[in-house]
Amino acid sequence: MNHLRYSTLLLILFVAFRQDALAQEFRFNAGGGPITLAVQSAIAGSEPTDATDSSTQLYWDANFGVPTKITVSTVSINQSFRLYVRLNVPSQGLGGQGIVQPEIELIHNMADTDLFTDIPSTLPGRQGFGTLIYRAAATVAEGNSNEHLDDVHIVTYTFLAQ
């Protein structure tokens, strides 16, 4: 059995306001502290099973007066393994309207990448919430944390006028 450990994920909140506005809200509920995802084992002759985490909620009030978006980027020096994120917005009804992008691979020093776009400028659609779903993946050929150390990601979410 091949054992692989994956990354410790440090979530930080960086809110960039590119227009003057007074009532924007952007917050996380992560259950306290960094998220650790561990790709731990595989059946002989197969690849390890991906690890996932869906414990982080993201809330917003996009009161910019224009359509708004949320972007994501990461810094992970010496990244050896793969990490992905997607936003699950459970309701596109009264709140949380916008366009959810597909799963995004988080790569060291990547440019800001759209996670959720076209958030309306008016109530109730400008307010919403979703769950951030992280997926860590590794292959046998990539080695393990004993060879490469754990990946540590500082993930930045930016909330800005579109």
Q: What is the mean pLDDT of each run of 10 residues along the chain (162 residues)?
A: 38 40 66 77 83 89 90 92 93 73 96 95 88 90 83 89 89
Specify the pLDDT at position 90.
83
Question: Per-domain residue ranges for the chain?
Answer: 8-161
Model pTM? Answer: 0.82
Full 3-state SS string of the chain: CCCCCCCEEEEEECCCCCCCCCCCEEEEECCCCCEECCCCCCCCCCCCCCEEEEEEEEEEECCCCCCEEEEEEEECCCCCCEEEEEEECCCCCCCCCCEECCCEEECCCCCCEEEEEEECCCCCCCEEEEEEEEEEECCHHHCCHHHHCCCEEEEEEEEEEC
